[in-house]
Structure 1
Amino acid sequence: MKFGVIPVGEAIGAIAAHSVRAESVALRKGQPISAELASALRAAGIETVVAARLDHGDVSEDAAAGGLAVTLAGMGVRVEPPFTGRSNLFAERPGILLVDSRTVDGINAIDEAITVATLPTFKPVVEGEMIGTVKIIPYGIESRLLGQAIGVAHSGRPLEIAPYRLRRVGAISTLTPGFKIGIVEKTLRVFGERLAPAGAGLVAASACAHATDDLREELLSRIDEVELLVVFGASAIADRRDVIPAAIEAAGGRIEHFGMPVDPGNLLLVGELRGKPVLGAPGCARSPKENGFDWVLTRLLAGLPVTRRDITAMGVGGLLMETVSRGQPRAGGAPDETTDPDEEDER
């Protein structure tokens, strides 16, 4: 592509790089310069313009952006027609966005003329939400470069929306003497609000003593009627041998991982019982604010596995906002005396 200052008389067919206004003439940036426009510009005393002209074999910005965007789009993704060298991608359904960073990074490394930007992978999205954009910087690029970008897109994983699949969710609340029932009621209400965007619902909610044998029996009595089970402990899980993990294993289940490098959310437990996911919720799951519990819950609702390796990879970006109710625990010092003594460690 040629770019620079050219005489108006030689600009017919070129693309204006900047807007020009003179007398009754209005040339817009990105507008092809026709013979009529060139004549009007000369009549207005304009002798030169800054313009771009595609070489043989170049691909226009819109055609390149649209072609690459279509190649990147996978299941559940819609591509809008390109404009000014940009083509946007949108979610066709609610779910979890899956992005292969190697594919995106590989395309962006080809040439500065080609850019791809997306939302973070595993982000929950709603129908109609923009999830990515392809922008071609100049007015056209070499077909060779576009071919390389499309090749990388074909060889990698496309952008996809993993739909929510699990609908029937259960919750067990463990209780200690004096534990406020109001906390349980608030927790279940917040949990129901978390499930709603995924089209899931709380179909079973029960309570038992915060003891291994009692929880074991409750797990076995609930697991067959749900697709996912969450345990909200009256006391935060302190160790793999604590009540909640011990009860899961006593029921015949297994622990995938305890703890996560996301704060709030450190004390999350991921387990499995009879082929179904069981979560030991951290204390912060009682709050509607985003925390590590959300990161795991939404993936599971979409039927995506959450392994130890997945969890240990969450550290970068895992330092989330402090909440006023947590009393700034990372700052150290004495506990906030206004904190409700019944509120457990919210990690």
Structure 2
Amino acid sequence: MKFGPLPPREAIGAMAAHSLRLPGITIKKGASITAEDADKLDAAGVAQVTAVRLEPGDVAEDEAAARLAQATAGEGVRIDPPFTGRANLFAKHAGVLEVDRAAIDRINMIDEAITFATLEQFKPVVAGEMIATVKIITYAISEGRLAQAEAVARGVTGAVRIAPYMLSRIGVISTLTNALKPTIVDKTLKILDKRIAPAGATVVSEARALHETGALARELEQIAHGDAELIIVFGASAVSDRRDVIPAAITAVGGRIDHFGMPVDPGNLLLVGHIGDKPVIGAPGCARSPKENGFDWILHRMLAGLPVTRTDIMGLGVGGLLMEIVSRPQPRSGEESAEDDEA
């Protein structure tokens, strides 16, 4: 690709590198410079115009953006027609965004003209939401560099893809103490309904039990043998140890604890486990708030049927410091809060 200043007559047939506006003449960026344009530029006393000419082996920006977007788009992704060197990728349906970060990083390192940006990995998305954009920042890129980027993209199974929601039936158990108002439990369930609505999920079983291992175990066993595909336990007091009430009740019915704790705040006291093949979440206290917290990150992955391992959870620390929530005023300040186990 040739780029640089040319006399108007020599620029005929080339693209204008920048928009040019003068009395009686307007040439838009990227437009082909015509003989008439050259005459007007000469008449206006313009000695040079910055122009672009493609050479053999160059791929124009729109074609390059479209090709690279096509190479990276996986399941559940659609691509809009390119414009000004940009191709945008959108979610075809609701789900959780999966991104092969290593592949995207490699693509971005191939040439400075290639830029590929995505939303955050594992972000819940809705149908029609933009999830990524490819922008070729020069007017063209060499076929060799583009082919290199396409090869990286095709070396993985959909560098950008949408995991559709798979689980839709939720079982919920709330444990109770004398200090916990029933209205708090009711409010928590309403907030959960709003949380899972974008995934098309609903609560199919709801129970309440004393915050005691035996009472909770009985409710867990009953819900685990029902239609629920995912079980959530909202404790009157959040889990503070693997031997606490919620994990003890899970193991009492033959379940297992996969992991306790996460480096996301709010959300530190989250617990994940299984009873048979059904995942169980011991919700942290912050899950009672409608504001984003660590519970959201794990909940939506599970609703999409994605595995959540200890390694997955413990890799969330960078970016895991979230905003404070109203229900727990400034707990990081060191001052005593009304409920010190809501994390």
Alpha carbons 1:99, 1:157 under 8 Å: kept: no
- Paired AA for residue 26 in structure 1: T
Does 79-88 or 18-27 show the bigger shift?
Answer: 18-27
Alpha carbons 1:8, 1:47 under 8 Å: kept: yes
- TM superposition shift of 1:346: 1.3
Which residue of the partner structure matches residue 147 of structure 1? Answer: 147
- 1:254-299 per-residue CA deviation (whole Å, 9 max, x = no partner) reads 0000000000000000000020001100000011010000000000
- Paired AA for residue 128 in structure 2: G
Q: How far apart are the structure 1 equivalents of 2:195 and 2:175?
A: 20
- 1:6-31 per-residue CA deviation (whole Å, 9 max, x = no partner) reads 11111122110111122321101111
Q: How far apart are the structure 2 equivalents of 1:193 and 1:111?
A: 43
Which of 225, 228, 234 is 1:226 aligned to? Answer: 228
Q: How far apart are the structure 2 equivalents of 1:282 and 1:290?
A: 12
- 1:152-189 per-residue CA deviation (whole Å, 9 max, x = no partner) reads 11113421011111110010011123421111111111
Matches within 5 A, 1:21-36: 21-36=21-36
Q: How far apart are the structure 2 equivalents of 1:129 and 1:52?
A: 34
Does 32-41 or 162-171 show the bigger shift?
Answer: 32-41
- 1:188-232 per-residue CA deviation (whole Å, 9 max, x = no partner) reads 111111110100001111101111111111111111220000001
Does 173-182 or 136-145 show the bigger shift?
Answer: 173-182
Stretches of 4+ aligned residues off by more than 3 angstroms: none
Q: Tell me, which stretches of 5 or more residues in structure 2 are unaligned?
A: none
Which residue of the partner structure matches residue 240 of structure 1? Answer: 242
Which residue of the partner structure matches residue 256 of structure 1? Answer: 258
- 1:73-99 per-residue CA deviation (whole Å, 9 max, x = no partner) reads 111111111111111111111110000
Which residue of the partner structure matches residue 279 of structure 2? Answer: 277
Which residue of the partner structure matches residue 113 of structure 1? Answer: 113
When normalised by structure 1's length, the TM-score is: 0.96
Q: Tell me, which stretches of 5 or more residues in structure 1 are unaligned?
A: none
Which of 313, 318, 321 is 1:319 aligned to? Answer: 321
When normalised by structure 2's length, the TM-score is: 0.97
Q: Percent identity, please.
A: 61
Which residue of the partner structure matches residue 345 of structure 1? Answer: 341
- Paired AA for residue 85 in structure 1: G
Q: How far apart are the structure 2 equivalents of 1:207 and 1:323?
A: 25
Q: How far apart are the structure 2 equivalents of 1:230 and 1:285?
A: 11
Which of 287, 292, 295 is 2:294 aligned to? Answer: 292
- TM superposition shift of 1:43: 3.4
Which residue of the partner structure matches residue 180 of structure 1? Answer: 181
Query: Secondary structure at 2:131's aligned position in 1?
Result: strand
- 1:77-130 per-residue CA deviation (whole Å, 9 max, x = no partner) reads 111111111111111111100001101100000110111000011000111111
Which residue of the partner structure matches residue 73 of structure 2? Answer: 73
- Number of aligned residue pairs: give it: 341
Which residue of the partner structure matches residue 196 of structure 1? Answer: 197
Alpha carbons 2:289, 2:327 under 8 Å: kept: no
Alpha carbons 2:91, 2:129 under 8 Å: kept: yes
Q: Is 1:12 equivalent to 2:8 in the alignment?
A: no
Matches within 5 A, 1:155-174: 155-158=155-158, 159-174=160-175
Q: How far apart are the structure 2 equivalents of 1:295 and 1:15?
A: 47
Question: Pairwise CA RMSD of aligned residues?
Answer: 1.2
Matches within 5 A, 1:34-113: 34-113=34-113
